[in-house]
Structure 1
Amino acid sequence: MRAIDWLEHLVSHPTISSAGNLDLVHGLVDALSAAGAVVETFPDETGNKAALLARFGPDMPGGLMLSAHLDVVPVEGQDWTVPPFELTWRGERLHGRGTTDMKGFVACVMDLIETPEIVQDLAKPLWIALSYDEEVGCVGVRPMLAAIAERGIHPDLVLVGEPTSMNIGLGHKGKTAYRARSRGIARHSAEAPLAVNALHALGDLMAGLRRMQEDLARDGVREDGYSVPYSSVHVGVLSGGTAVNVVPSEATMLFETRFPASEDAAALDARIRTMAQELDDALPDGCRLTVKELLSYPGLTTDAAAPAVQRMTGCLPETARPCWLSFGTEGGLFAERLDVPVVVCGPGDMAQGHQPDEFIEAEQLAECRRFLERAAAAFCKERPASTTG
């Protein structure tokens, strides 16, 4: 199938993170196997989802790994004017959930591997790594990545195909998300000073986080290229209470940190936990304030001068430019676990990702397909240097 046909097929599978993906994965396994790949799947604990790893060419170090996720975000609550799980043409735009994030890239990969002259007679391996549950904290890639590391699979470069408008992403921030909960003592609001307001306890934590943000903006680690070049602390949800005349006994707050790869993420976490512990210690008996980590992934920073990155840059369109991404990817996990160069480059613009009537330009698909062919040739067709005299 052509890339556009593959995109139509991929979009028709509603692989929302809360649902399964096995129907899609089984079809991809069949197509990859028919094209000559060695394929392995990595099911989750429920047996309803799986990641897959495919190899074309010899089982040896080097080559290229193409990485993507198959899950998409929900459409509920969004005002779509086209069916979200059907591919719809409007001019030169292809609409549907996941077209940009990131089934457009997967469609180009599947078109690539079905071209015999590209995947046959490879001198080095071409790896395809497709994950699940990226959208909920880069969950599904981790068991597969552990197996990749344990087996000593060491590509020359990992290409994560998240949407960059075909620019080359050299970095993104890491993230840790938290849930804080407080338990106080309820009472009629007429006697509020005699109660313990659970919202007030979280308000104190929020005030501490705001002071932490001020410190990071003034004195924190900086990496150029980002719209916010330092670490950030953000409170997204604060909830609690049932009525204005009742002192709330339970409250919840969701917040996050985002940090450059060079930041000491463990130190940020320790500062938050120390702050929370001090507030908890100050509460009366029977009251609590707790903080729990919900998800975390590392940042990414890649040296543009690394030989493999230079080789990949030579495969890009002439208009491509280096960029640093405002959103997270699985790239930081690959770099951390495999210790190989990782770049992010794919079709589409994340400004359309997660939005109603999500779309990708047809020319972006065509440009990505041409780029992948050049990259596969550059990394996988080149013969290893002879070791004989």
Structure 2
Amino acid sequence: MSATLDILDRLIAYDTVSETSNLDLVAYIETFLKVRGFEVHRIEDPVGEKAGLYAQKGPKGDGILLSAHTDVVPVEGQNWTRDPFRLTRDGDRFYGRGTTDMKGYVASVLAMADRAVDVALREPIKIALSYDEEIGCVGLQRMLERLVPMLGQPKACFVGEPTEMQVAIGHKGKAALRAVCHGQSGHSALAPKFVNALHLANDFLSELRALQDFYASNGNRDLAYSVPYSTFHVGMMSGGRALNIIPDTAELTFEYRHLVSDLGKDILARIQEAAGKVSARYQSLCSGASVEVEQYNAYPGLDVAETDGIVPYAQKLSQSAATTKVAFGTEAGFFSALGIPTVVCGPGSMEGQGHKADEYIEQAQLNACDVMMDRILQDLSR
């Protein structure tokens, strides 16, 4: 536990908010693992301002993959009562940005790597650390081309997002989209003679609400989620430059989060159909009226069957009899799509602490994660 806290203290001190570079933290971890006999590969982003890492120790073979991200969410606008980038203790709680999401898990992994120095491994320890997860799993997607040939086929992957050490076997997939609505500009005194782009945007928003109603009533359902169906959400809507000018463009930014059983491509087709419907409604008034939809990011969901062998194996290592499904997205779907048996299991509570001011992790959660790491190390060395 002392080693885990010492490492966590170092990790929290690095400001790795997604909009900043994580290279100083990466350099620290890279050196830490190399000194302890790991083969380490740095995977830089396209412009060289950030990087992920893949590290491995032990003989060639399947082994176990431990996955995490290094970035954290911003602290601006939150009412912190302590320095978010300095680990502080209050009783059994350790405060700092990323303690729960998810540097506590990273610290536990690195502490286990330190304990592995004098252990004869029969299977390899594999570690994958990404960047820009908090903005839509962007970093791992950029890493995959180089990462996949190095991974091999681990017998299990643990993505250490906070689940209070329960074994999470599912989460929804997500897609982020942008709709640009085109109308006509003109003088507001003649408004009925022109097509207001905000009217298209409003009608398209109504179509999205109708899609939400459809999936709530007719889509697949999974009662393991607090919202048991696929969801739609419009986060931003904008248009217009002055009150007396009819807007010729308007924009909506929106998302859908879908059950794995509701295929993303089918949902996207329904969205495009809705955009075409709105466009046609206005084209008799203006041939250039349209709603153009672009999907600019997506990540897959995770859905592991209770009968899958990874589930009892993960429960044994985590000493948790419970399984759960989480509301938030993770990188687990990418590894599962590669055919790697994958679950989400890590210390801390996302609902209780994730993305909040005065984020903390409880000592008992770190202890439980350290014990799981010991069981993993034991399993790989038998």
Same fold? TM cut 0.5: yes
* Cα deviation code 1:103-132 (max 9, x no counterpart): 010011111111136x63111111000000
Q: Are the structure 2 counterparts of residues 183 and 234 from structure 1 closer, same or farther at C-alpha, using a change threshold of 3 Å?
A: same
User: Match of 1:237?
Assistant: 236
Which runs of no fewer than 5 residues in structure 1 stay unpaired? 383-389
- How far apart are the structure 1 equivalents of 2:362 and 2:151? 38
- How far apart are the structure 1 equivalents of 2:318 and 2:188? 64
Deviation of 1:49 (Å): 0.7
Which runs of no fewer than 5 residues in structure 2 stay unpaired? none
Q: Are the structure 2 counterparts of residues 152 and 162 from structure 1 closer, same or farther at C-alpha, using a change threshold of 3 Å?
A: closer
User: Match of 1:99?
Assistant: 99
Deviation of 1:287 (Å): 3.5
User: Match of 2:297?
Assistant: 295
Structure 1, 355-364 or 286-295: larger mean CA deviation? 286-295
User: Match of 1:162?
Assistant: 161
Query: Contact between 2:57 and 2:124, CA under 8 Å: does it hold in 1?
Result: yes
- How far apart are the structure 2 equivalents of 1:50 and 1:93? 30
Query: Contact between 1:32 and 1:54, CA under 8 Å: does it hold in 2?
Result: yes
* Cα deviation code 1:125-166 (max 9, x no counterpart): 110000001111111112433334335600001100000011
- How far apart are the structure 1 equivalents of 2:214 and 2:310? 37
User: Match of 1:86?
Assistant: 86
2:47 maps to amino acid: T
Q: Secondary structure at the match of 2:324?
A: strand
Deviation of 1:244 (Å): 4.3
Deviation of 1:274 (Å): 2.0
1:73 maps to amino acid: V
- How far apart are the structure 2 equivalents of 1:143 and 1:209? 30
- How far apart are the structure 2 equivalents of 1:309 and 1:126? 19
Deviation of 1:289 (Å): 2.0
User: Match of 2:198?
Assistant: 199
TM-score normalised by L of structure 2? 0.94
How many residues of Structure 1 are paired with residues of Structure 2 in the alignment? 377
User: Match of 2:36?
Assistant: 35
* Cα deviation code 1:167-226 (max 9, x no counterpart): 110000000011111122233433221121111101111111111111111111222301
TM-score normalised by L of structure 1? 0.92
User: Match of 1:220?
Assistant: 219
Q: Are the structure 2 counterparts of residues 42 and 226 from structure 1 closer, same or farther at C-alpha, using a change threshold of 3 Å?
A: same
User: Match of 1:269?
Assistant: 268
- How far apart are the structure 1 equivalents of 2:235 and 2:60? 46
Deviation of 1:98 (Å): 0.8
- How far apart are the structure 2 equivalents of 1:212 and 1:144? 34
- How far apart are the structure 2 equivalents of 1:260 and 1:81? 38
Alignment of 1:1-389 (within 5 A): 2-60=3-61, 62-116=62-116, 120-151=119-150, 153-281=152-280, 282-283=282-283, 284-318=286-320, 320-336=321-337, 338-351=338-351, 352-378=353-379, 380-382=380-382
- How far apart are the structure 2 equivalents of 1:203 and 1:214? 17
Query: Contact between 1:145 and 1:334, CA under 8 Å: does it hold in 2?
Result: no
Deviation of 1:278 (Å): 3.2
Q: Secondary structure at the match of 1:140?
A: helix
- How far apart are the structure 1 equivalents of 2:305 and 2:315? 12
- How far apart are the structure 1 equivalents of 2:88 and 2:249? 46
Deviation of 1:262 (Å): 1.9
- Give the fraction of aligned pairs with identical amino acids, expressed as a percent: 43
Q: Secondary structure at the match of 2:278?
A: helix
Q: Are the structure 2 counterparts of residues 21 and 151 from structure 1 closer, same or farther at C-alpha, using a change threshold of 3 Å?
A: closer
- How far apart are the structure 2 equivalents of 1:152 and 1:372? 19
Query: Contact between 2:112 and 2:377, CA under 8 Å: does it hold in 1?
Result: no
Query: Contact between 1:64 and 1:125, CA under 8 Å: does it hold in 2?
Result: yes
1:254 maps to amino acid: T
Q: Secondary structure at the match of 2:265?
A: helix
Structure 1, 307-316 or 241-250: larger mean CA deviation? 241-250
